[in-house]
Amino acid sequence: MNIRSVFTYVVVLMLGFIIRPSQAMENYQQQIRQLHQSWAEVTFQLQGQAQKDGFEQLRQVTGQLLQNNNDKAEVWLMSGLINASYSQVAGGLQLLKLAKAARHDLEKAIQIDDQAMHGMAYYCLANLYHQVPAWPFSFGSDKTAKRLFDKALQNNANDAAAHYYYAQFLYDNELFEQARLHFMLSKVHSADSIKIAEQSRLQLANQQLAKLDKDHAQK
Protein backbone atom coordinates (compact mmCIF):
# COMPACT_ATOMS: atom_id res chain seq x y z
CA MET A 1 0.00 0.00 0.00
CA ASN A 2 1.30 3.46 -0.87
CA ILE A 3 -0.07 6.97 -0.89
CA ARG A 4 -0.27 7.01 -4.69
CA SER A 5 -2.90 4.26 -4.75
CA VAL A 6 -4.98 6.16 -2.20
CA PHE A 7 -4.71 9.39 -4.17
CA THR A 8 -5.60 7.59 -7.42
CA TYR A 9 -8.76 6.21 -5.85
CA VAL A 10 -9.64 9.60 -4.35
CA VAL A 11 -9.23 11.46 -7.64
CA VAL A 12 -11.31 8.91 -9.54
CA LEU A 13 -14.04 8.98 -6.91
CA MET A 14 -14.15 12.77 -6.81
CA LEU A 15 -14.36 12.96 -10.59
CA GLY A 16 -17.28 10.58 -10.39
CA PHE A 17 -19.13 13.03 -8.16
CA ILE A 18 -18.29 16.03 -10.30
CA ILE A 19 -18.91 14.54 -13.77
CA ARG A 20 -21.66 11.99 -13.05
CA PRO A 21 -23.74 13.17 -10.08
CA SER A 22 -26.70 10.93 -10.98
CA GLN A 23 -24.47 7.86 -11.10
CA ALA A 24 -22.91 8.91 -7.80
CA MET A 25 -26.36 8.63 -6.23
CA GLU A 26 -26.98 5.22 -7.81
CA ASN A 27 -23.64 3.89 -6.62
CA TYR A 28 -23.85 5.42 -3.14
CA GLN A 29 -23.47 2.20 -1.17
CA GLN A 30 -20.54 1.08 -3.30
CA GLN A 31 -18.86 4.44 -2.81
CA ILE A 32 -19.31 4.14 0.96
CA ARG A 33 -17.68 0.71 0.90
CA GLN A 34 -14.79 2.05 -1.16
CA LEU A 35 -14.42 5.02 1.17
CA HIS A 36 -14.36 2.71 4.19
CA GLN A 37 -11.70 0.57 2.51
CA SER A 38 -9.55 3.62 1.76
CA TRP A 39 -9.95 4.83 5.35
CA ALA A 40 -8.62 1.46 6.53
CA GLU A 41 -5.64 1.67 4.19
CA VAL A 42 -4.75 5.19 5.31
CA THR A 43 -5.28 4.36 9.00
CA PHE A 44 -3.45 1.05 9.19
CA GLN A 45 -0.96 1.08 6.30
CA LEU A 46 0.34 4.64 6.15
CA GLN A 47 2.36 6.69 8.61
CA GLY A 48 3.64 10.22 9.11
CA GLN A 49 2.96 12.87 6.51
CA ALA A 50 1.69 10.33 3.97
CA GLN A 51 -1.04 9.34 6.40
CA LYS A 52 -2.01 12.95 7.08
CA ASP A 53 -2.14 13.64 3.33
CA GLY A 54 -4.35 10.58 2.92
CA PHE A 55 -6.78 11.80 5.55
CA GLU A 56 -6.92 15.22 3.91
CA GLN A 57 -7.81 13.61 0.59
CA LEU A 58 -10.49 11.45 2.20
CA ARG A 59 -11.97 14.51 3.89
CA GLN A 60 -12.34 16.08 0.45
CA VAL A 61 -14.14 12.98 -0.78
CA THR A 62 -16.62 12.99 2.09
CA GLY A 63 -17.23 16.69 1.48
CA GLN A 64 -18.14 15.92 -2.12
CA LEU A 65 -20.32 12.98 -1.11
CA LEU A 66 -22.17 15.05 1.49
CA GLN A 67 -23.22 17.58 -1.13
CA ASN A 68 -25.73 15.13 -2.61
CA ASN A 69 -26.28 12.79 0.33
CA ASN A 70 -26.47 14.87 3.50
CA ASP A 71 -29.65 13.06 4.52
CA LYS A 72 -27.87 9.67 4.72
CA ALA A 73 -26.28 8.36 7.89
CA GLU A 74 -23.45 6.41 6.27
CA VAL A 75 -21.68 9.42 4.78
CA TRP A 76 -21.91 11.34 8.06
CA LEU A 77 -20.54 8.28 9.82
CA MET A 78 -17.60 7.99 7.42
CA SER A 79 -16.89 11.71 7.73
CA GLY A 80 -16.85 11.36 11.50
CA LEU A 81 -14.65 8.28 11.37
CA ILE A 82 -12.13 9.99 9.10
CA ASN A 83 -12.04 13.15 11.22
CA ALA A 84 -11.70 11.09 14.41
CA SER A 85 -8.83 9.02 13.02
CA TYR A 86 -7.13 12.12 11.65
CA SER A 87 -7.42 13.83 15.04
CA GLN A 88 -5.38 11.03 16.66
CA VAL A 89 -2.34 11.85 14.49
CA ALA A 90 -2.82 15.62 14.37
CA GLY A 91 -1.54 18.00 16.99
CA GLY A 92 -2.45 21.16 18.81
CA LEU A 93 -5.49 23.13 17.74
CA GLN A 94 -6.00 20.93 14.67
CA LEU A 95 -6.59 17.95 16.96
CA LEU A 96 -9.36 19.78 18.81
CA LYS A 97 -10.93 21.08 15.60
CA LEU A 98 -10.99 17.63 14.02
CA ALA A 99 -12.32 16.01 17.18
CA LYS A 100 -15.21 18.48 17.37
CA ALA A 101 -15.98 17.91 13.70
CA ALA A 102 -15.93 14.15 14.26
CA ARG A 103 -18.32 14.43 17.21
CA HIS A 104 -20.74 16.52 15.16
CA ASP A 105 -20.65 14.08 12.23
CA LEU A 106 -21.08 10.95 14.35
CA GLU A 107 -23.94 12.46 16.33
CA LYS A 108 -25.58 13.44 13.03
CA ALA A 109 -25.23 9.86 11.79
CA ILE A 110 -26.87 8.52 14.96
CA GLN A 111 -29.68 11.05 14.65
CA ILE A 112 -30.45 9.94 11.08
CA ASP A 113 -30.04 6.17 11.54
CA ASP A 114 -28.21 4.77 14.55
CA GLN A 115 -28.13 1.28 12.97
CA ALA A 116 -26.26 2.38 9.83
CA MET A 117 -23.20 0.24 9.08
CA HIS A 118 -24.18 -2.13 11.90
CA GLY A 119 -24.38 0.69 14.45
CA MET A 120 -20.68 1.52 14.31
CA ALA A 121 -21.26 5.22 15.03
CA TYR A 122 -21.73 4.37 18.71
CA TYR A 123 -18.31 2.80 19.26
CA CYS A 124 -16.61 5.36 17.03
CA LEU A 125 -18.09 8.14 19.16
CA ALA A 126 -17.27 6.24 22.36
CA ASN A 127 -13.64 5.87 21.32
CA LEU A 128 -13.51 9.56 20.43
CA TYR A 129 -14.78 10.56 23.90
CA HIS A 130 -12.13 8.29 25.40
CA GLN A 131 -9.25 9.57 23.26
CA VAL A 132 -9.69 13.34 23.36
CA PRO A 133 -8.62 15.44 26.36
CA ALA A 134 -11.21 16.15 29.05
CA TRP A 135 -12.51 19.53 30.19
CA PRO A 136 -11.24 22.27 30.17
CA PHE A 137 -9.19 21.35 27.10
CA SER A 138 -11.86 19.44 25.18
CA PHE A 139 -14.97 17.27 25.63
CA GLY A 140 -13.33 13.95 26.56
CA SER A 141 -15.28 11.86 29.07
CA ASP A 142 -14.79 8.22 30.01
CA LYS A 143 -18.25 8.21 31.59
CA THR A 144 -19.82 9.13 28.27
CA ALA A 145 -17.52 6.71 26.46
CA LYS A 146 -18.65 3.83 28.71
CA ARG A 147 -22.31 4.58 28.05
CA LEU A 148 -21.73 4.63 24.29
CA PHE A 149 -19.66 1.44 24.34
CA ASP A 150 -22.49 -0.28 26.24
CA LYS A 151 -24.94 0.89 23.59
CA ALA A 152 -22.68 -0.32 20.77
CA LEU A 153 -22.35 -3.82 22.23
CA GLN A 154 -26.04 -3.95 23.07
CA ASN A 155 -26.80 -3.26 19.40
CA ASN A 156 -24.22 -5.68 18.00
CA ALA A 157 -22.53 -8.07 20.40
CA ASN A 158 -20.61 -9.72 17.54
CA ASP A 159 -18.83 -6.60 16.30
CA ALA A 160 -15.08 -7.19 16.46
CA ALA A 161 -14.22 -3.50 16.32
CA ALA A 162 -16.60 -2.62 19.16
CA HIS A 163 -15.00 -5.29 21.34
CA TYR A 164 -11.49 -4.15 20.42
CA TYR A 165 -12.02 -0.48 21.20
CA TYR A 166 -13.92 -1.31 24.38
CA ALA A 167 -11.07 -3.61 25.42
CA GLN A 168 -8.57 -0.80 24.86
CA PHE A 169 -10.80 1.51 26.91
CA LEU A 170 -10.86 -1.03 29.77
CA TYR A 171 -7.11 -1.56 29.50
CA ASP A 172 -6.43 2.16 29.72
CA ASN A 173 -8.59 2.24 32.85
CA GLU A 174 -6.58 -0.67 34.35
CA LEU A 175 -9.51 -3.09 34.23
CA PHE A 176 -7.22 -5.75 32.86
CA GLU A 177 -9.29 -8.91 33.21
CA GLN A 178 -12.31 -7.30 31.56
CA ALA A 179 -10.00 -5.98 28.86
CA ARG A 180 -8.63 -9.48 28.28
CA LEU A 181 -12.15 -10.82 27.76
CA HIS A 182 -13.02 -8.22 25.15
CA PHE A 183 -9.69 -8.55 23.35
CA MET A 184 -10.48 -12.27 23.10
CA LEU A 185 -13.97 -11.56 21.81
CA SER A 186 -12.48 -9.19 19.27
CA LYS A 187 -10.22 -12.02 18.10
CA VAL A 188 -13.09 -14.49 17.87
CA HIS A 189 -15.15 -12.21 15.66
CA SER A 190 -12.16 -11.11 13.55
CA ALA A 191 -10.64 -14.51 12.92
CA ASP A 192 -12.27 -15.18 9.56
CA SER A 193 -12.15 -11.62 8.26
CA ILE A 194 -9.91 -10.49 5.44
CA LYS A 195 -10.71 -6.79 5.83
CA ILE A 196 -7.66 -4.61 6.39
CA ALA A 197 -9.12 -2.89 9.44
CA GLU A 198 -10.22 -6.05 11.21
CA GLN A 199 -7.01 -7.91 10.43
CA SER A 200 -5.00 -4.97 11.75
CA ARG A 201 -7.08 -4.85 14.93
CA LEU A 202 -6.64 -8.61 15.30
CA GLN A 203 -2.89 -8.14 15.28
CA LEU A 204 -3.15 -5.32 17.82
CA ALA A 205 -5.42 -7.44 20.04
CA ASN A 206 -2.85 -10.24 19.99
CA GLN A 207 -0.15 -7.77 21.02
CA GLN A 208 -2.22 -6.46 23.91
CA LEU A 209 -3.07 -9.98 25.08
CA ALA A 210 0.61 -10.91 25.01
CA LYS A 211 1.38 -7.82 27.08
CA LEU A 212 -1.33 -8.75 29.60
CA ASP A 213 0.06 -12.29 29.85
CA LYS A 214 3.58 -10.95 30.40
CA ASP A 215 2.41 -8.54 33.09
CA HIS A 216 0.46 -11.32 34.82
CA ALA A 217 3.46 -13.69 34.77
CA GLN A 218 5.67 -11.08 36.40
CA LYS A 219 3.31 -10.63 39.36
- pLDDT score of 18: 43
Say how far apart CA 195 and CA 30 lie, in whole Å.
Answer: 16
- pLDDT score of 13: 53
Say how far apart CA 210 and CA 91 lie, in whole Å.
Answer: 30
User: Which of 87, 66, 88 lies closest to 78, judged by CA?
Assistant: 66
- pLDDT score of 22: 53
pTM, two decimals, is 0.85
Residue-by-residue pLDDT tens, the chain, 219 positions? 455 555 445 544 544 444 355 555 568 888 898 899 999 999 999 999 999 999 999 999 999 999 989 999 999 999 999 999 999 999 888 999 999 999 999 999 999 999 999 999 999 999 999 999 999 889 999 999 999 999 999 999 999 999 999 999 999 999 999 999 999 999 888 755 547 777 778 788 888 888 887 776 666
Reduced to 3 states, what is the DSSP secondary structure of residue 114? coil
Say how far apart CA 125 and CA 3 lie, in whole Å.
Answer: 27
CB atoms within 10 A of CB 134: 12
